[in-house]
Structure formats: C-alpha cells, structure tokens
Amino acid sequence: MTRLARVISVLFHPTLIPLYGILCFFFYSPFAWIPVSASYRWFVISSTLLYTIVFPALVVWWMKRVGAVSDIFVRERKERTALYVATIILYFAWFYSLWRLARMSHMAVAATLAIVVINILVMLINLRWKVSAHAAACGGVVGVLTAISYLLYFNPVWLVCLSLVYSLLVMLARLILDEHTPLQLIVGFYVGVGGAWMAYVISYTFLFA
C-alpha cells in the first residue's frame, strides 16, 4: 500500500499538473477541436515543460547542492518558502510568455494565472503552517473546471467527477505516507478550489475582455 501511495504521490506531483492540463486541453478535452498549428501546440507544451518542471527541478537540485534544503522532496515547511518564491517567478514567466507570445486560448492562459495564484496562497500559508501543495493542486483542477463551467455555460460533470476521484486518491496517498494531516489536506484542497476559481474568473473577465 505504501509503495502504491508513493507512486500516486509522484505521478500527481504538483509540478506535473500544469503539463497534464495542457496536454489534456490540446488532445483530450472538449476544446481539443480548436484549430491550431502543430508548431504552435508544441511550443506551448515545451514552454510548459521547461517553466513548470525542468527549471523548478534545477532550482531544487541547486538548493540541495548548496544545503538550502535537506532533501529533494523539501518536506520541511521552513525550507519551502524560497522554493515557492522561485517557482512563482518561473510560473509567472510561463504565464507571461503564453499570454504575450503564444497568443494562446484565453481559457488556457487564465488557467496558468490560476496556478500562479494558488502557489502564492500556498506559500503565504506555509509561512506559518504546513499545508498540502498536492491537495492544493487537486483543488486547482476542480476550481478551473467549475470556473470554465460558470463562464462558458459548459457542463463538465464527468471531468469534475474524474478530478474529484483523482483528488481523493492523491490525498489518501499523502495520508498513507504520513506527509500531511487530514486538516492540512482539506485546507490545501479548498485553497486550491477557491484560489483557482477566483483567479480564473477575474483574469478571464478582465484580462481578456
């Protein structure tokens, strides 16, 4: 059970969720039919890979090398602040590049800004109390889906149900691994839902009006 929980925890690590979201948007979502060139599509995917996975991984590697963190999973709450700051800067650069250069769908760009907001909220809470970034990422998925439903009158019931099942599995895995308490997971999930929903609605309404 512990091994399965560890696999789930790694497969659905918060840094991987943006890439999963972009891939689903382009290939498996109801919006996959939007006509875009292959070069444009792969530019967005490669940008997401670099800014949300490769560069943050290099930051963690460097922090471990200089002794700023005790392990690559950064389990200690006090060690996470600097990593959150670096990640937020990278994620904002990702959002800005897609917004200004890629001229990507407003739906997807608003989702990137929602991810930035979730990271800021988690970082602020983390200054005083440990909260689950895994749960916040899960909540972010639910928040973005419900925001799209609210703004575009789209009914994503099956996607929301799927995301809730995935969220439950991830949070159970974090409990089994004893990485978080139930309260830390619940708070993280609702921070993700609320932060993503508000950021998505506000950005879609005002930035892309």
- What single string gives the DSSP state of each residue in 122-166? HHHHHTTS---HHHHHHHHHHHHHHHHHHHH----HHHHHHHHHH
pLDDT in the model for residue 49:
92
**Per-residue pLDDT tens digits for 75-101:** 777 777 888 888 899 998 988 888 776
pLDDT beyond 60 at 73: yes
pLDDT in the model for residue 45:
87
Percent of the chain's residues with pLDDT above 70: 89
pLDDT beyond 80 at 112: yes
pLDDT beyond 70 at 34: no
For residue 143, what pLDDT band results from cuts at 50, 70 and 90?
Answer: very high
**Per-residue pLDDT tens digits for 153-176:** 777 788 888 899 999 999 999 999
Q: How far apart are the first and last CA of the chain?
A: 48
pLDDT beyond 70 at 205: yes
Type and span of the H or E element at 62: helix 55-65
